[in-house]
Every structure is written in C-alpha cells, then in structure tokens.
C-alpha cells in the first residue's frame, strides 16, 4: 500500500503532532513541513525542549506546581508569604494568578476537582497533602481560588469541612469570575481584584 506521504519519517512526525489537542492531520502536516524549512539546529533545540518536558520536569513535592529542581521557584522564594496558601485546581491557574502580580503567597495545586459524574473523588486529587501542609506549616489563611462551577464549589466545601478550626482564616476569591468560568480565562485585572477583594468563605455557603 502506498504511503500517504513521501517519507515514513514525515508520516511519523505528522502522526505524533496530530495527537496534540486541537491539531488535525492537515495542520500537523503544515507544521511538519514548516519545521523542515528551518535550520537543523532549531529543530534539534525544539526536540531537546520536548525531551526535557518528559525527562526533567516534575511536580513540586510541596505544592504540586511544575518544577525542574527540588521544589518550584515559588516555594523556594523566601520573599513569598508562606503563611497564605492559595488553593487552585490546575497549574494554568497558578500562571493566571501570577500574571496579575497581586498575590505574594504560595499555592497548592489540587490537580483537579471533585466530580462524581467523572468518577473523581477526594482521594483522586491533592486534598490530603493540603491537610498535611496546613497541620505542619504555620498557615494563617487558605484562599479558595477554584472555578465557579458546581464541581469547584463542591471541592471547596469538602476542604472547608475537613479543615481544622484552629484560627486559620478561610477565604474565597470574590466572584468577579463569572459563574461557570475558569480562572485561566479571566482577564488579569478582574482576577487580581477578585484575589485582593477576597471574602470569608463562610459567607459563600
């Protein structure tokens, strides 16, 4: 059977590129042909960066953000207020909040949210490790910066119920984020104000 492309290597490249989200085979072919027009050194640098994603990047053992070293840059930054933990669902939420330039605490990345419909329970995300941090570190405030969805609200409420009542302030970002919205799609100004104007979590339930 004749190959769809004149090169088996090109065919393999198209096949792999097309596995990326939102990339069909036509777009994958266009990207592969574009790479072929670049200098070999540029392609090698891209390949090395992709290999680094697989071999060198891992989760921060403290907050579950991405990192190259022992802990992520945020956890390693001694100028951050480690007494304030902002709880988010996804690493993209960390990036979105950091872009606002308004928050100087640390984070805890859950890696998802409770969703019975999808078979995701409390033990499937990083809730237990959050409880361990709160009990072992000098935490003054926990901020819920979860998506304004039923699943996000369920996750926040579950954490609220299991959180020790020992003077730790529990807050929620102000609802400048639209209902059903994801933090990563909220503009920087709105998100920054939502964090600065956060409210007691108890007032949201």
CATH label, 60-204, candidates 3.40.1360.10, 3.50.50.60, 3.40.50.261, 3.30.360.10:
3.40.1360.10
* Owner of token pair 């027009």: 37
CA distance readout (Å), 37 to 33, 42, 143, 146, 194: 7, 10, 48, 43, 46
**Alpha-carbon torsion (82, 83, 84, 85), positive or negative:** positive
pLDDT per position as a tens digit, 3-57: 677 899 999 999 999 999 999 999 999 999 999 999 999 999 999 999 999 999 9
Q: What is the pLDDT of residue 177?
A: 54
Tokens standing for residue 194: 């939502």
- Give the CATH H-level superfamily of domain 8-55: RecR Domain 1 (1.10.8.420)
pLDDT per position as a tens digit, 81-91: 999 999 999 99
Q: Where are the beta strands (DSSP E) in 65-146?
A: 66-67, 81-88, 105-109, 141-144
Give residue limits of the domains in the chain. 8-55, 60-204
Q: Say what the pTM is.
A: 0.84
């Amino acid at each position: 059977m004749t190959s769809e492309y004149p090169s088996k290597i090109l065919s393999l490249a198209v096949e792999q590129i097309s596995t990326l989200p939102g990339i069909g085979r036509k777009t994958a072919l266009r990207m592969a042909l574009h790479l072929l027009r670049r200098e070999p050194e540029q392609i090698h640098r891209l390949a090395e960066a992709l290999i680094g994603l697989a071999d060198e990047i891992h989760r921060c053992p403290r907050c579950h953000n991405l990192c190259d070293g022992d802990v992520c840059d945020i956890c390693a930054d001694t100028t951050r207020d480690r007494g304030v933990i902002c709880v988010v669902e996804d690493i993209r939420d960390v990036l979105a909040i950091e872009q606002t330039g308004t928050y100087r605490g640390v984070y805890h990345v859950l890696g998802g949210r409770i969703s019975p419909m999808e078979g995701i329970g409390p033990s499937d995300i990083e809730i237990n490790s959050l409880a361990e941090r709160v009990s072992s570190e000098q935490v003054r405030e926990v901020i819920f910066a979860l998506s304004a969805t039923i699943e996000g609200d369920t996750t926040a409420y579950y954490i609220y119920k299991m959180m020790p009542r020992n003077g730790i302030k529990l807050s929620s970002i102000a609802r400048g984020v639209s209902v059903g919205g994801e933090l990563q799609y909220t503009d920087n100004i709105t998100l920054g104000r939502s964090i600065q104007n956060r409210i007691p979590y108890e007032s949201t339930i």
